[in-house]
Amino acid sequence: MELIIIFGSILLAAILCLSIKNRKSTEYISVIVSLVVFGESVIVSMEVARVGFYTLFHFFYVDALGAIAMLIIALVGLAATVYSVQYLREETTKQIIGFTRVRQYFVLLYLFLAAMFLAVTSGSPIFTWIAIEATTLSTAFLISFYNKPSALEAAWKYLIVNSIGLLLGFFGTLLYFTSLGAIGEGGIITWGVLLSNAVYLDPVIAKIAFIFVLIGYGTKMGLAPMHTWLPDAHGKAPAPISALLSGVLLNVAFIVVLRFKVITDASVGSGFSQKLFIAFGLLSIIVAALIVFTQKSYKRLLAYSSVENMGIVAIGFGFGGGGIFAAILHMMYHSLIKSALFLSSGTIFLKYSSTKIAKVRGVITALPITGVLFLVGLFAITGTPPFGIFLTKILILSAGIQKHLFASVVALLFMVILFVGFFKHAVAIMFGEKPSEIEIEKESAWLVVPPLMLVATALYISFYMPPFLNILITMVVSRF
């Protein structure tokens, strides 16, 4: 019933936003629906923690991994929706967009959220693929939201690269079907059917299939070298959409990869997939660290940080053991902190009308609250205590030292390099001399509260994990 309410509310909100021509009504509906979706997601997650799974109509199946993903989507989606209200009002005031574009924005936003919810709750790998492809289509329009040549270029690049990647992922999915001797209930091929038939899957085909899946969905996840779309898309999309792309969508894609990993491991053992995770994860960290120093846009800077952090999550699963536990926590912390950073970057953009680092100086003076949030977020995302990312990085590297010493040392080295690059840019942005034309004004609570809520949540669960969430994490670790 809860999933019906979630999808029904989202689709109803999209229809109402498209048909209602009163701005306040559109905004109220958007915020209320986001609150409802978050509440229902918590209920589903608690049910999964209690009985181990949540199922509906043999089509929807939510396990512990899906429940964690639902919480991330719902919480970041709520923050992004609340933030979007004032963000779009500011852009309307500046005559950047009109109310028609605002309505289109909320419709596309809810289609995006619906597709991500479907991807993590669908019991069928085919419908999961369709949902991931749907995220590509809905977000392509959001990336090109401002209709500028650079935004249109970023949208087309995003669309083409991800569509090719997902085509490879679909081919890999079909290869897994070669193990099937029977179809699941109602003629639907489910994740459970694939897993139960994994013993009949030819090991060579299993390895080839997983490579296609990892490259295909890894493109959506932002792993190097398939990450080329990510900086452009994150840099040109509206700030709330960048928050969802980086903080949520990358994790959703990785969760799909993990579902295929379980099937592959049942056929050929865990060593094969772990080696691939370490290789792609390490490459992602290295690429991000080397490019950070030359970045001229703070939104692209955050985008490359996402490449690094998804690489860290990948090597966590690659190292295994305690690294898996840390990788799940890292995925959660990254979602919250990175989303808060992108929302804060939107406030900076509204004030300075530029994403270029060279043109943004004295943020801590012009936007005291946002400046502090952005600075705290930058330190948190690079692994500075007391935030949980500091602990997860230590745990992941500790898990790899015994069996993967070289990979652990290289990862640590480039994490330090990336930290230095972030610190260099942060000092310039925060403490440089404020341009004389930038006035100091009171910051809107609508723009401050959402990122503050995300940062506070990340800090809270760094010290105390709610019991039901702890149970979900334990369930996920036991599967890998």
- Whether 185 shows a pLDDT value over 60: the answer reads no
Assign 58 a pLDDT band (cuts: 50, 70, 90): confident
pLDDT at site 428? 87
Indicate the average pLDDT of the chain: 91
- Identify the residue whose tokens are 């190292």: 319
Mean pLDDT value of segment 181-186: 53
- Whether 433 shows a pLDDT value over 60: the answer reads yes
Q: Are the CB atoms for 166 and 128 separated by under 8 Å?
A: no
Model confidence pLDDT, tens digit, residues 7-49: 999 999 999 888 888 888 888 999 999 999 999 999 999 999 9
Mean pLDDT value of segment 75-80: 96
Nearest in space to 291 (alpha carbons), one of 390, 186, 403, 417 = 417
pTM, to two decimals: 0.95
- Whether 440 shows a pLDDT value over 70: the answer reads yes
CA-CA distance, 474 to 469, in Å (whole number)?
Answer: 9
Residues 6+ positions from 323 with CB-CB distance below 8 Å? 315, 316, 317, 395, 396, 399, 400
Residue 237: what residue type? A
Assign 184 a pLDDT band (cuts: 50, 70, 90): very low
pLDDT at site 416? 93
Mean pLDDT value of segment 89-102: 87
